[in-house]
Amino acid sequence: MGDLIQCLDHGYVRLVDVMGSDLTVVNAARVSYAKASNSLNERDIKLIKFLAREGHTSPFRHAVAQFEVYAPLMVARQWWKYVVGSSHQEATGDSLDAWNESSRRYITEEPTFYIPQPDEWRTAPENSKQGSGSPLNEYEGELLTGWLMECIEKGEDLYERAIKRGVAPEQARLFLPAYGMYVRWYWTASLQSVCHFLAQRLEHDAQREIQEYAKAILELIKPHFPVSVEELL
């Protein structure tokens, strides 16, 4: 499909493929009665609302979407928890998630890093052990952006020197600052699993960086499943 939305400074989400529609959900729910709809009608919409409201989630797992994501490692590792959770928690009941990620064991492409601008640094929250508070002042922000750039430049230099000395890429990558480094992966998930991710990562207290990706996922997926996404969220 190729629909793509830019995120952060260098990242993006691309919708690669979609299987199904709101009609897929309806027909999956009605198969036990040997019935099917050819086009979505008001009765079908009421059924989707009922399924979502009552927690009858299996019909939503017959629709699937595939994304290509390019994001900092700190975003990727938060996201990965949903793949693990989808296979082991009854809350999602979903084993249709798949994740394939680029690896610096095999490639030595130019590393790319997420570097917040001076006005993007945030304070620690006053009443919580996680999340963010208000923005830092401009002076502090400029100082922190400078520090981060120095750290990245030093790490990249050591990485390149290790490669030139014949060190295996899987070990040379130890010199690269990890959490801000961009990685690329394919995420294939059922509609239910996608909406479970969105329901949590669109919340106001989710980390801002992953919120940006969640908004992109929502914008890409909702036109294909307008009723189901609205009800599941």
What string of DSSP letters covers 153-190?
HHHHHHHHHHHHTT--HHHHGGGS--TTBEEEEEEEEE
Q: Is residue 160 a contact partner of residue 110, using CB atoms and an 8 Å limit?
A: no
Q: From the candidates 77, 104, 201, 208, which is the catalytic residue?
A: 201
Token pair for residue 15? Answer: 């919708």
* Token pair 């570097």: residue: 115
Told to judge if 201 belongs to the known catalytic residues of this protein, a careful annotator would answer yes
CA–CA distances in Å: residue 78 to residues 51, 171, 194, 212 = 28, 24, 14, 13
C-alpha–C-alpha distance, residues 81 and 199, integer Å = 14
SS3 (DSSP) at 10: coil
CA–CA distances in Å: residue 152 to residues 31, 76, 176 = 55, 19, 7
> What totals of helices (H) and strands (E) does the chain contain, helices first?
8, 5
Could you give the residue numbers annotated as active site?
Answer: 201
